[in-house]
Amino acid sequence: MSSTKITNIDAVELQEGIQNAAFHEDDDDTSNASSSREQQATSVSVTRPEENEYTQIKPYAGMPKEVLMLYSRKACYRVPREIIFWLIIACTLALIAMTITIVALSPRCMSWWQLSPVYQVYPRSFKDSNADGVGDLKGIKEKLSHFEYLNIKAVWISPFYKSPMRDFGYDVEDFRQIDPIFGTMEDFDELLASMHDKGLKLIMDYIPNHTSDKHIWFQLSRNGTEPYKDYYIWVNCTRDKPPNNWVSVFGNSTWEYDEVRQQCYFHQFLKEQPDLNYRNPRVIEEMTDIIHFWLKKGVDGFRMDAVKHMLEATHLRNEPQVDPDQDPSTVDTEFELFHDYTYTQQGLHEILTNWRIDLDAYSREPGRYRFMVIECYDYEEIDKTMRYYGTSYVTESDFPFNFYLLYLPDDLSGNQAKSLVHLWMSNMPKGKWPNWVVGNHDKPRIGSSAGTEYIRAINMLLLTLPGTPTTYYGEEIGMVNVNVSVIQDPFGQHDPSNSRDPQRTPMQWDDKLNAGFSDSENGTWLDIAPDYSTVNVELQQADAHSTVSQYRALSLLRGAELALSRGWFCFVWSDVNVFAYLRELDGLNKAFLVVLNFGEDTTTDLSSVTELPDTLTVHLSTVPISQKTFTKSRIPTSRGQGMLLEYSTNQRFHLNHASECSVSEKACYLPALDILYKC
């Protein structure tokens, strides 16, 4: 090239050729390439600076990077690019900061045992799958859809271990086997898998205090075989003279003379249920291994049975009589003694705390929290019950069962309802989770003790109070006690007035043979209730206003409404007829007023509650009513009626009435982001 003028495009292209360091030619063309590069260098060097400026007005497709770089350096392109870059950085940092803030400020997520009622299944009476007249594990599996219908997520199943059935499963012969009456271990595994597939949790009954006298441990212990010799509590005695005045729960002496060992063994229940010796570390180890056995199988939690009986004083002194003037020879029931040496002894909570640690070790997998609930009747000594929550330093159970609502029928009224609810809420340690029980396999059905007209209002109470409600099978349809023809309960055989058979009769599924519980033509283990043709699941599911339909509606509402599941609980009113309270959540305009009538027809005036709006809307009533709104100064309720009233307000009752309100964990709702945060 001899020309001294070249185009800008040629100049750029030649310059690009010079700067391509990665380009290599064959050896045969080396001299030609060298000559070409010299000519290119000469051509570029003679190009005038002012002619080397690129004058293309707009970028074009396929432009070389040198052209692109020329454009990228211009302010009109560079400034927007840098603005976008820093905006992206700022937005990313803001999102990270917002995420951290939301996580830090968000209240703890509720666990599965807080989100749903716990439903107790008494397996002998729930559903019989093989027509032998006794319920079983396959029968429970057949009815899992019932739990889904009720919006139940947690199911507690009473004992199904191998047992001689002297106390219907609470006398365990082998903790690692299923009793043939209920099925096989394969049946259990299938039931558990099916429940987990449906999002259901299984809570097992665990009986740590005692075993059956048929248990291999006891058989070896009575023979003096090591290391089982001290697995139970043995003391020297004679056939006709027990070591002291201790009395069992079922009545009479807690001591039974054994002809084989020629000593007395200790039992706080039936003589066929010898107490384990928890002063022996090997016993604790054995019982802990049993917990691990079932946890490894995948169970979701345990209900710890009769734990206050697990330890006894070693000095064996007589317990003081409630009536010091009573003839000691006539003392034969547990309520005639102060159980200073046999209930809730020192060392009990250490054992339970260690079991809590074992459950926590299995709770590390997300979504697999292992639940622990304590059964303990402490009656007026509620401080002992509260101790099972643990301390500020150590967690024990998730909660101890709250049995105080069982006493509601003793003085059925609005005042009694408030008193029993306040008893628990005022004694519960700060930040702990409440729970409520109105029936179980040991206590009369609430429909019989309170009256069938109050069943629906009591279910509304159970499902709208803060915390976890526990429902005993059949309560959702209003089952009542049945006067059975033959007493099966050993407690009832000792004292017919205390028989527990009436509340254990078979579940009423439909109006067909045996209420749909069993296809047995030889009857069922306990009598079927005579009202099964009108009180059954199938019939009530078809009626939108039935007891079970209302139970389901309240259960669904409890899960859907933040104010009911984790909001403030505040007492508003109580008198001889009515108990009223409200549920509200900071930041949420929607709130609920619950009005329950446990007396006679009345009209309640809440005009003094300034935080309530003048008009309240009926969300649900346990009895059909045509009126859908009420003024707060005139809220009529009939005998046994419950009403859930909804209202909108920005005023908060709890801010001005701290002594009347409580909440387990404070949370506020932020409507703009539809999230909860700590407040």
Q: Looking at the annotation, which residues are catalytic?
A: 305, 375
Contact between residue 604 and residue 646 where contact means Cβ atoms under 8 Å apart: no
Tokens of 23: 């380009």
Contact between residue 376 and residue 401 where contact means Cβ atoms under 8 Å apart: yes
Cα diameter, the chain: 137
The backbone torsions φ and ψ at residue 8, rounded to the nearest 5 degrees and listed phi first, read -60, -40
- Count Cβ neighbours within 10 Å for each residue of 313-342 and write b for 16 or more, e otherwise: eeeeeebeeeeeeeeeeebebbebbebebb
Look at the chain and count its residues. 679
Sign for the CA dihedral angle at 373, 396, 274, 185 comes to positive
Residue listed under structure tokens 């290119």: 40
Give the DSSP letter of residue 260. T
Rg (CA), the chain: 37
Q: Name, in order, each residue with C-beta under 8 angstroms of 655's C-beta and a sequence gap of 6 or more.
A: none
Contact between residue 488 and residue 138 where contact means Cβ atoms under 8 Å apart: no
CA dihedral 318, 321, 326, 331 (to 10 degrees): -70
Strands 154-157 and 201-206: parallel
Question: Identity (one letter) of the amino acid at 425?
Answer: M
Distance separating alpha carbons of residues 593 and 642, to the nearest angstrom: 11
CA dihedral 534, 538, 539, 545 (to 10 degrees): 120
Q: DSSP for 497-519?
A: GG--GGGGPPP---SSGGGGS--
Could you check whether the bond before residue 227 is cis, i.e. omega within 30 degrees of 0?
yes
